[in-house]
Amino acid sequence: MTQMPTIARQPDHPVAPQFPARWSPRSFTDRSLTMDEILTLLEAARWAPSASNHQPWRLVWALRDEPGFTAIHAALTGNNLTWAGKAAALIVVASKDTVLNRDSVEVPNRTAGFDTGAAWMSLALQAQTMGLAAHAMGGFDQAALAAAVALPGGHTLHCVVAVGEQGPVTALPEDLAAREKPSGRKPLSETTRHGRF
């Protein structure tokens, strides 16, 4: 019998259940993703808001057993190498650093990272709606990942997202199994202020 971790997160104030229910597990089953599922995940990211609707995010994806997946996986570092290879897909989240201004000059897009964060979260919540898990990883080798996806100049790598069906805790090595549970959050009093800092 598979043993799934209990979702026991309690928000301090009432919120839509998808927010505390989403979390980042490391165990994935062998289930593959269909092309339709991948397109649905990417479509969710597509509808994220962005400054002037520039949509600076760039997502590069590969399915398990594809050479692209192996190349992205090999660019991961630390513990990520241990568990992320079981994901059904790896999605590299990058952004274009500049936009064309009114004079057709490429200028820095200072909200590119912010907008791309919104796109990743849309994808993660879509995954959850589909009964899938999405786990972002900032632990990767910049040069190796850039080479793996042929990152063009003027782009920034943000993270790699592992997506798949959540697997049993027992499939993980002991050290990772011990951490396979939803984390808590700082109280609002630590991260928010009324009016000014």
Maximum pairwise Cα distance, the chain:
63
Q: Does 23 bind ligand FMN (CB under 6 A)?
A: yes
**Residue 162 near residue 24, CB atoms below 8 Å:** no
CB 75, min distance to ligand FMN, A = 12
In 3D, which of 149, 179, 182, 23 has the Cα closest to residue 75? 149
Q: Does 138 bind ligand FMN (CB under 6 A)?
A: yes
Minimum CB distance to ligand FMN smaller for 103 or for 175:
175
Q: Does 10 bind ligand FMN (CB under 6 A)?
A: no
Minimum CB distance to ligand FMN smaller for 29 or for 82:
82
**Rounded distance between C-alpha atoms, residue 119 and residue 47, angstroms:** 8
**Rounded distance between C-alpha atoms, residue 140 and residue 172, angstroms:** 20
For ligand FMN, which residue of 123, 132, 136, 149 counts as binding (CB under 6 A)? 136
How many residues bind ligand FMN, per CB under 6 A? Answer: 10
Q: What angle do the packed helices 112-129 and 35-46 form, to 10 degrees?
A: 140
Q: Does 183 bind ligand FMN (CB under 6 A)?
A: yes
Which residues from 148-177 bind ligand FMN, rule CB under 6 A?
159
For ligand FMN, which residue of 80, 122, 126, 166 counts as binding (CB under 6 A)? 80
**Rounded distance between C-alpha atoms, residue 63 and residue 61, angstroms:** 7
- Binding-site string for ligand FMN from residue 36 to residue 55, where x marks contact by CB under 6 A and - marks none: --------------------
In 3D, which of 134, 160, 147 has the Cα closest to residue 73? 160
Task: Catalog residues that contact ligand FMN under the rule CB under 6 A.
Answer: 23-24, 80, 136-139, 159, 182-183
